[in-house]
Amino acid sequence: MCSAFTNSIQITMENQYRKTFADLMVGKKIVYVHGFMSSGATHTAKILQEYMPESTVIAPDLPIHPEEAMSLLRQIQADEQPDLFIGTSMGGMYTEMLYGTDRICVNPAFHMGTTISESNMLGKQVFQNPRKDGVQEIIVTKALQKEYKEITEQCFSAITEEEKSRVYGLFGDADPIVHTFDLFHEHYSQAIHFHGEHRLVEKAIFHFIMPVIRWIDDKQEGRERKTVLIDWSTLSDNYPKPKSSLFKAYEMLLNHYNVYFVAPAPTNNPTAMIEVQKWIKEVFSAPAWNHVLFANEPQLLLGDYLISTNKNDGFMGTTLQFGSDEFKTWEELIIYFERLGGQ
């Protein structure tokens, strides 16, 4: 196995997700904005720092009063000049308003006033993580709830065309608390569902947040990765379930390439394209967002590698024929790309 390819992802036996993306956000600052009744000591901030050891993750304790919290975040934005804000829940709501910086809003609580009452957050509440000021509990009053309602009315107030390209919204498809996908999508096109609930667990960070951070890092650096096109015919068995080792290969490729799926566009059966989108979204979730191409002649597409069950004569890059003696399964393709070392 090529060391140049594998050294960027170091795996420990204790946790299958405990990996290091040493080439991601190198020398950059990331501000993590926590949710309601949490703190900068949240496990999410620690995971982000472990995943990106060459970056600096700043995770402040937010004041409980929303205007004070926004003032602190804007001061950090001015003083630290971060390259990326990542906010979850209440923090995602705040993050939307930090215009001028690239941002990821995860399950953003744009209706905090309503969320507080619907989630039984009024009255005495205990912080989920320790805070630097030593405060462990507070009383959430109707007056404080009103403050949150008023701050959320300031969301989406300074959106420009440039801002629309700087913000991603990620929404857990099983979130029982916050349902703001449609509201976000009214203002920003980069609205993405991922497989998860409201709380951001490590599995979701690894599979769905890190690929989006990679998109942002690539854009900031003007980095052009080689493109791998994966033909629809290689993905599923007869049932149709994902082929063995498909997901393993996909995540490996994501670390080094732009990966797109290619499917036919039958003129007489347009609903087939909808079914393709649904299947790919269900299997691959957030990383496959806007990465499906419909083409009846895939050999005409521009790309560096095309993985297909057909020979596709005329493709300008390298065709890897899935199911052939050389590439009978995805395991053989994994070995092939490992030997390439990301080239």
Mean pLDDT across the stretch 330-342?
Answer: 93
Residues paired with 57 in a beta bridge: 30
143 & 197 share domain: yes
- Residue pointed to by tokens 């703190």: 39
What is the pLDDT averaged over residues 254-279? 96
Structure tokens at 154: 């300031």
The pair of three-digit structure tokens given for residue 17, joined into one six-digit string: 């997700």
- The pLDDT tens digits for 73-127 are 999 999 999 999 999 999 999 999 999 999 999 999 999 999 999 999 999 999 9
Q: Looking at the predicted structure, is the pLDDT value of residue 19 above 80?
A: no
The pair of structure tokens assigned to 286 is: 């957030």
Residues 166 and 273 in one domain: no
- CB distance 96 to 155 below 8 Å: yes
Q: What is the DSSP letter of 236?
A: B
Flag the least confident range among 5-19, 184-198, 225-239, 265-279.
5-19
pLDDT > 70: percent of the chain: 95
- Exposed, middle or buried by CB within 10 Å (0-12, 13-18, 19+), for 1? exposed
**What is the reported pLDDT for 16?**
58
Per DSSP, the three-state class of 262 is strand
Q: Quick one: pLDDT at residue 18?
A: 57
- The whole-angstrom separation of Cα 284 and Cα 321 is 22
The first and second tokens of residue 122, run together, are: 């009024």
CATH of the domain at 105: 3.40.50.1820
Q: What angle do CA 18, 21, 26 make, to 5 degrees?
A: 140
The pLDDT tens digits for 175-213 are: 999 999 999 999 999 999 999 999 999 999 999 999 999
CA-closest candidate to residue 289, choices 173, 162, 158: 173
pLDDT digits (tens, 9 = 90+) for 135-158: 999 999 999 999 999 999 999 999
Q: By the 8 A CB rule, do 167 and 87 touch?
A: no
Residue 163 pLDDT class (50, 70, 90 cuts): very high
**Are residues 207 and 278 part of one domain?**
no
| DSSP letter assigned to residue 242 | B
Total structural domains in the chain? 2
Residue 64 confidence (pLDDT) above 50: yes
Q: Which of these three, 221, 256, 290, is where a domain ends?
A: 221
Tell me if 321 sits within 8 A of 311, measured CB to CB. yes
- Domain span including residue 241: 227-340
| Confidence grade of residue 306 (pLDDT, cut at 50, 70, 90) | very high
User: Each residue of 21-52: pLDDT tens digit?
Assistant: 999 999 999 999 999 999 999 999 999 999 99
Give the CATH number for residue 273: 3.40.50.1000
Q: What tokens were used for 202?
A: 């490590």
Q: Is 132 left (phi over 0), alpha (psi -120 to 50) or beta?
A: alpha
Identity of the residue numbered 24: L
- From CA 46, how far away is CA 194, in angstroms rounded? 21
**Residue 307 in tokens:** 């993985």
Q: Give residue 268's region: left, alpha or beta (phi > 0; psi -120 to 50).
A: alpha
How confident is the model at residue 342, as a pLDDT? 78
The terminus-to-terminus CA distance of the chain in angstroms comes to 14
The answer to whether residues 259 and 313 belong to one domain is: yes
| Apex 181 CA angle, 142 and 105, nearest 5 | 75
Q: What is the mean pLDDT of the chain?
A: 93
| Same-domain check for residues 232 and 217 | no
